[in-house]
Structure 1
């Protein structure tokens, strides 16, 4: 009897010294989401919420105008996909799966710009998981039938290079040229167009044309539209709404197996990309906070999630289209270095903190204020 009592005592000690997340894990059912007071976790987000509401993105709520102004320095830039007027500041904070703070209209569908890239990289993880792509270090050109990756430079590009945005892919896709996307201001068009290409894997360049090359390549691998892949494999299983949409451009269509399919864009730089509400963004973040598991179902392997948030050699603050708060030029001061996040034009963020079991989504926060917002939010964590 004494041995049984000792074993029970040791078990109880073990149980109550486990991280809180291991004792309590909540996954919101479709159309529902339980809330808890932040004070239940000795947390107070009032100051951070007030800060977010007081620091709205300063450009026009007419996002077509905001896009044209934001990228006016790019030669030949134009709107190629749909846009939508946005709402005001909104956000949500999830702790252990529960909503502990919320502001603005979190059910309004808005453009999310480059947050889309993290949804896109997720479809690449699914392709790896399903063995449609054998290895992330495989040459992408070996999986396509056309000349997308032909030539001495492009033929070297791997899936990993595309995911880490260090491929330096050169060419034209859907009427847009890689060299015309965010060109350096100290060079003229001819200098940038005729530049010497960097060896794939050695040079990071944020470039939507190359991201769209990844989307097109994955479409050819799956042989069905990426929004359908994401819906079936991720968004439906996590109970997302039916309101989100993922668009490409008016001319980004191709034919596969006799069917006309749209190749989606990885952002809203020229319109298109993911249109989604704050709550669905939070569900997506919650999946990653739980290392790809949703209520006992491993939708994405934990190994692939960990791989996706490893610093790349060319940019220590970037993984597979997730930004990392690791040591580097984009690190947020006094914020845990293990945090990773999706970020988009206009102040759209999905922030994942696995250490504290937090997911933070902000919409239309002045981008230059995100570090200060996080510092205020983390003051009592």
Structure 2
């Protein structure tokens, strides 16, 4: 009898333990067979109403008023691919282009993933395998430690205080690759890696393998040693939807789900909240650009734990929340003051979004 009672107790502990564990997990991710994809060669896009989703419609106008007050130019909420909210303000329109800033880093990460899927590169290989030696001004031994993955993860060990120029003279050693996380423009060398490996111009490879396949507008513009992407807002939403849909567009796998899973997971052991040029919520700590300080807590406390984001200078945003079937885009001027990625606006904005969607 004692043995039987012991077995029952073990079973109960197991059952309740599993229930507790499952209760903390996000809802099941999307079914790509049922999600909606807007046509590639048309600007038509199906919509869904707030009432269809039982959201709080009374809180929508306060959200839009707040966005307009905070220098926003455009704002879109997709639910499982369909447009629920689309707004343009402060003299912006649906056809005007605006810059992605560092939110466009994720375009580079995704194109790199496509090149790896096509077996042109391996991100675990050292960068010099593709660019040749002396692409930095470090020693050969130090340079050989830097892999493509280090550039995607922002832990190259190169000095981040010397500006955006990525010529060899400006790429100087500060620590061994993998030992230090620092937000650095050296990630753009991955565009050179893809170009060298594919024997194509970077823009041609990007356009052929990503942009045209999902119907994006836009172009890369070189400004002050930075290659910055500009597009209309729906194109930013299209890209966010591709990533939300696990790399699939209709029946075509544009980029492997495995790479996306890696890209939106912690990529190194220093900054938990950083993947392959994606920012990750729900972690216990995070680092920010131009700082070696480790901040405790979640990146954006008001946002769902499974949210991951493309964040650009002056509050360019793509938020992706698989558990809630959401892609949210914000373009505009800085909401309050100039910033490189995260700002207090993120958490405040999510407070307003939550009032609508919950």
SS of structure 2 residue aligned to 1:93: strand
Given that residues 98 and 230 in structure 2 are in contact (C-alpha distance below 8 angstroms), is that contact kept between their aligned partners in structure 1?
yes
C-alpha separation in 2, matches of 1:296 and 1:271? 35
Q: Structure 1: give runs of 5+ residues left out of the alignment.
A: 1-16, 57-87, 171-177, 183-192, 250-268
Correspondence for 1:264: none
Correspondence for 1:92: 76
1:295-325 CA distance string (max 9 Å, x none): 0111111111101111121211110001111
* 1:152 and 2:164 are equivalent in the alignment: no
1:245 counterpart (216, 219, 230)? 219
Matches within 5 A, 1:38-117: 38-43=50-55, 44=57, 45-56=60-71, 89-104=73-88, 105-117=93-105
From the superposition, tell whether residues 326 and 201 of structure 1 become closer, same or farther in structure 2 (CA, over 3 Å): farther
1:227 counterpart (189, 197, 203)? 203
C-alpha separation in 2, matches of 1:93 and 1:291? 18
Q: Please provide the CA RMSD for this pair.
A: 2.5
From the superposition, tell whether residues 146 and 196 of structure 1 become closer, same or farther in structure 2 (CA, over 3 Å): closer
C-alpha separation in 2, matches of 1:21 and 1:307? 19
Report the number of matched residues: 294
C-alpha separation in 2, matches of 1:18 and 1:164? 27
Correspondence for 2:163: 181
Correspondence for 2:271: 315
SS of structure 2 residue aligned to 1:237: helix
C-alpha separation in 2, matches of 1:349 and 1:146? 36
TM-score (norm 2): 0.76
From the superposition, tell whether residues 336 and 195 of structure 1 become closer, same or farther in structure 2 (CA, over 3 Å): same
Given that residues 47 and 377 in structure 1 are in contact (C-alpha distance below 8 angstroms), is that contact kept between their aligned partners in structure 2?
no
From the superposition, tell whether residues 195 and 212 of structure 1 become closer, same or farther in structure 2 (CA, over 3 Å): closer
Matches within 5 A, 1:162-311: 162-169=151-158, 179-181=161-163, 197-208=174-185, 210-241=186-217, 244-248=218-222, 270=225, 272-311=227-266
1:94-134 CA distance string (max 9 Å, x none): 1111110011123310122111110011111011101111x
SS of structure 1 residue aligned to 2:157: coil
Shift of residue 218, structure 1, vs aligned partner: 2.4
Q: Structure 2: give runs of 5+ residues left out of the alignment.
A: 1-26, 165-169, 287-297, 336-342
C-alpha separation in 1, matches of 2:251 and 2:173? 49
C-alpha separation in 2, matches of 1:89 and 1:247? 20
